[in-house]
Amino acid sequence: MKIVRSRVSGMTIIELVTVMAIIGVFASVTIAGLGEVRKRSQAEASAAAMETARAGAKTCLYVLGNITQPTDNAVLCTEKDNLRWPTLAGKWEYSNTFDAGDPTDGTFSFSASDGTDTISCDESECTHS
């Protein structure tokens, strides 16, 4: 009598562990790269918010004669409660280095930082360093 062996096809435990290890390596490389992308996008969003704040500050200083201390969602100038400092993205915060300016010469400056990078704005431009 002949014994017939049926062969079941499938993956061995070694093959399965190897595939899981490869997927783990790909996942760790992807996740590590996302942190830098997130930081860059938060910096770009904060830079855009600072440009908006700069334009609002020019209006406040030139038209109304004052600018308030920068704080997320605080009033930008005392006579216009609908003009507000924009909320910054991620870990970005307004710095205490603030010059409210003088309506006679039209100068002002403010900045924000995430602990490593800084965005500084004055009446003419915002710079990222």
Q: Which pTM value belongs to this model?
A: 0.72
Residue 5 phi, psi dihedral angles, 5° rounding: -100, 130
Residue 96: DSSP 8-state: S
Contact 34, 42 (CB under 8 A): no
Give residue 6's pLDDT: 65
Distances (CA, A) of 116 to 43, 91, 92, 102, 113: 11, 10, 10, 30, 7
* Residue bearing tokens 């704005």: 121
Give residue 54's pLDDT: 92
Contact 76, 85 (CB under 8 A): yes
Give residue 111's pLDDT: 94
CA dihedral (57, 85, 91, 43) positive or negative: negative
Residues of the chain with pLDDT under 50: none
Q: Is 94 exposed, middle or buried (CB count within 10 Å of its CB: 0-12, 13-18, 19+)?
A: buried
Contact 99, 109 (CB under 8 A): yes
